[in-house]
């Protein structure tokens, strides 16, 4: 492995461990079913710690047998140090995706913001904390273990503007390949740009959220983006998102 590849790998690993620690994890599972310590002692107590967890061992083993022609690592490798659109000029980091590549559930957002660009992981800023809350408290799932999270574009659009059509076109093949590699039971599109990208048409999200669609045969639920929810934090919007997520939970159990 070249020195450059090695240093990128090490930086990504460091960011990933920091990300896990920020979310309260104190241990990570090793492939052998034991655990590796991230850091002992000072971490805040997590109610979703993933230490030695029988549930994890069972589920992970089952899910690792999923068949796919392409792995998530191969998709990341193909993306490389991407310069396919102008977004690469201002980005600090490519925000490829995070979570379990064998998960049954994938959330698709719009694009990285400043925090994500800095840390290299999707949904780690304010909207990310809201999304984590929806997943962990609202759905009683574990963000890292039960879901995979990515965006329609992997680099931050300047000033948090919406991604442009040519940027989405350049990046969409990698989203498609991520979904092919993961083969989830359900996808959740967070907000209008994600919904419109996956359905290939302009989606009026307030009208169409809460309905099931399909993406390449995979059930696709449309819901509000957590950043919108934070901006319009009404009882109605919160209730709508929770209703949408309850439909997703029901679908995952089928």
Judged by the rule CB under 6 A, the positions of this chain that interact with ligand URA are 109-113, 116, 122-123, 125, 127-128, 151, 227
CB-wise, 99 or 113, nearer to ligand URA? 113
The vertex-13 CA angle with 10 and 15, nearest 5°, equals 110
Minimum CB separation of residue 2 from ligand URA in Å reads 29
Minimum CB separation of residue 12 from ligand URA in Å reads 16
219 bridge partner residues: 214
CA dist 85 and 94 (Å) reads 12
CA atoms 184, 147, 82, 227: torsion sign: positive
CB-wise, 27 or 244, nearer to ligand URA? 244
CB-wise, 104 or 115, nearer to ligand URA? 115
Minimum CB separation of residue 150 from ligand URA in Å reads 8
Minimum CB separation of residue 128 from ligand URA in Å reads 6
Contact predicate 112/85, CB 8 Å: no
CB-wise, 29 or 96, nearer to ligand URA? 96
- With left for phi above 0 and alpha for psi between -120 and 50, is residue 99 left, alpha or beta? left
Minimum CB separation of residue 113 from ligand URA in Å reads 5
37 bridge partner residues: 27
CA dist 119 and 94 (Å) reads 9
CB-wise, 184 or 226, nearer to ligand URA? 226
* Residue 231 tokens, joined: 């901006």
SS3 state at 138: helix
């Amino acid at each position: 492995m070249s020195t450059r590849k090695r240093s990128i790998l090490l930086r990504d690993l460091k960011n990933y461990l920091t990300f896990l620690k920020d979310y309260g994890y104190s241990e990570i599972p090793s492939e052998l079913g034991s655990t590796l310590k991230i850091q002992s002692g000072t971490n805040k107590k997590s109610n979703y710690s993933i230490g030695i967890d029988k549930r994890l061992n069972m589920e992970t083993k089952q899910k690792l047998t999923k068949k796919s022609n392409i792995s998530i690592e191969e998709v990341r490798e193909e993306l490389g140090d991407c310069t396919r659109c102008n977004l690469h000029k201002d980005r600090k980091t490519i925000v490829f995706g995070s979570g379990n590549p064998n998960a049954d559930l994938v959330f698709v957002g719009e694009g990285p913001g400043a925090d994500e660009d800095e840390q290299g992981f999707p949904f780690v800023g304010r909207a990310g904390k809201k999304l984590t809350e929806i997943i962990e408290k609202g759905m009683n799932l574990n963000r890292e273990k039960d879901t995979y999270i990515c965006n329609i574009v992997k680099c931050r659009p300047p000033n948090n503007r919406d991604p442009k059509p040519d940027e989405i076109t350049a990046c969409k093949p990698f989203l498609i390949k991520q979904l092919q590699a993961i083969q989830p039971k359900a996808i959740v599109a967070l907000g209008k740009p994600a919904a419109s990208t996956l359905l290939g048409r302009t989606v009026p999200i307030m009208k169409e959220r809460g309905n099931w669609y399909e993406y390449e045969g995979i059930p696709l639920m449309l819901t509000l983006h957590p950043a919108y929810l934070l901006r319009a934090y009404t009882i109605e919007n919160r209730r709508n998102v929770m209703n949408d997520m309850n439909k997703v939970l029901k679908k995952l159990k089928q």
